[in-house]
Amino acid sequence: MSFLKLFKATKMMKLVPLGILTVCIVVFVMRVDEKSAVGAKIDINPIPFTDLVTPRTVTVEVKKKAMVIIPEKYNEANVRTRLMQEKIRRLMAKNQDVARDEKGQNGTELTRHVHIFYYAPVKWFKDNSRNSSRDRRETPNIIFYPARGLYQPTREIFQEHFREIRSSGVGVLVISWSPAVNLKLLKLLVNVSREHNLTIAVSIESYPGRTIDSIERNIKFFCDTFSEHLHRIHILPRNSLMTIFYIREPFMLPWADWRGLKRSCNALLIAHIISKDHTSLARRAGFDGFYTLLGSNGATYASTWKHWQHLQKFATQYRMLFIPSVAPGFAERKRSMRQRHRSNGQYYGVAWRTAIRLGVPIISISSYNDWPHGDQIEDAVSRVGFKDYSTASGKTHKYLQLTSHWIEEFRKHRGKSPADTCSALFNNTVCL
């Protein structure tokens, strides 16, 4: 009986491979029929026989989605938007400059509420005698290098400068003057400024041998020689025109001596101050107002922006005129502690915003071309050994365009009043 069972089992084992082979053939035939029905290509991938008969563990590979940690990056979309906006602003500023030039010399785009300090000639070297030397191996006394080179004042230079100043919207040119300035050059400067509809204010420098008597003669000289070109403001209560004169460093002379100064052409004297007590000293000395001049924030009390509100309150209380001076930066070689970086125009913007919020009637810009002090808005170029305005091309009209922008903001704050209008100044009314 057991022999019969063994025989049957052995016979069945022989039939197992045959059965498995039969099943594989049937499955293959069915796949061929399905793919031939749709015209698909038949791929024959034979299955090893050992895989059919040998049991094995099937490993299932589960692919997990890897976590990608993206580091924080600069927002490219915002960068592109900002660059596009800057490009549009540059194009708009350029179109505005062209439009201003095309409108002619009618003064409609100028404002007499903004004054700018101008120097001719510029002291490129510490010793003026070197300016006439052809062999200039000495390093100029400047931090930035001008786009026009180390120029000397000529009619062509004046034409270019005053065209840029006018295009930016500035209406009053404050010329730095001392008896050393050549009279022929001074007349040329005044004549060219008139061609561009710029009026003149005079900054009397602290020259050697300056006295109260010499300043009287200086004021009388300008009133007699350039009366038609000088900038005047109309004081309604006095019913008279007054001519502005900026007095540089009046504290170099005794304050009490200034009260005896005789004024020609009804001069309006504005004192340069640097300390807090200079405001009261200037008032007692008979000055009509004061200005800050220095463009280095924090270097002196008067040049510190946060003190301007106090200076404005003092001027309002005593019916004086406060003229803050804004600058794009400050960079002179001999005093590194006064260095103030331009920060790509941000420094200039803070100074302008601070002055505008005070509600002052006049803002002065220091300066157009005071290169030795590094506070100029004139174009500079990239040059080895000198700083530039941090632009890719090395040459830029950036600060001329910024000046135009901030003058427009000043206009908006004043209600976009025309250039020759009257505005309330304390208990008086001043027409600029």
Give the domain ranges of the chain. 111-123+139-431
Which DSSP symbol is given to 47? P
Task: Report in angstroms the alpha-carbon separations of 371 from 24, 268, 285, 359.
Answer: 96, 28, 32, 29
CATH code 3.10.20.520 for 111-123+139-431: no
| CA–CA separation, 372 and 79 (whole Å) | 36
Average pLDDT for consecutive 10-residue bins of the chain (432 residues)? Answer: 54 61 68 52 50 46 47 59 71 53 46 96 76 58 92 97 95 96 96 95 96 96 94 75 95 95 92 97 96 95 97 95 96 82 93 95 96 94 80 66 93 67 48 54
| CA–CA separation, 329 and 345 (whole Å) | 9
Task: Report in angstroms the alpha-carbon separations of 99 from 94, 123, 268, 328, 416.
Answer: 9, 34, 35, 25, 18
Q: What is the pLDDT of residue 386?
A: 84
Q: What is the pLDDT of residue 419?
A: 47
Could you tell me if 360 and 398 are in contact, meaning their C-beta atoms sit under 8 angstroms apart? Answer: no
| CA–CA separation, 96 and 288 (whole Å) | 36
Q: What is the pLDDT of residue 283?
A: 96
Q: What is the pLDDT of residue 198?
A: 96
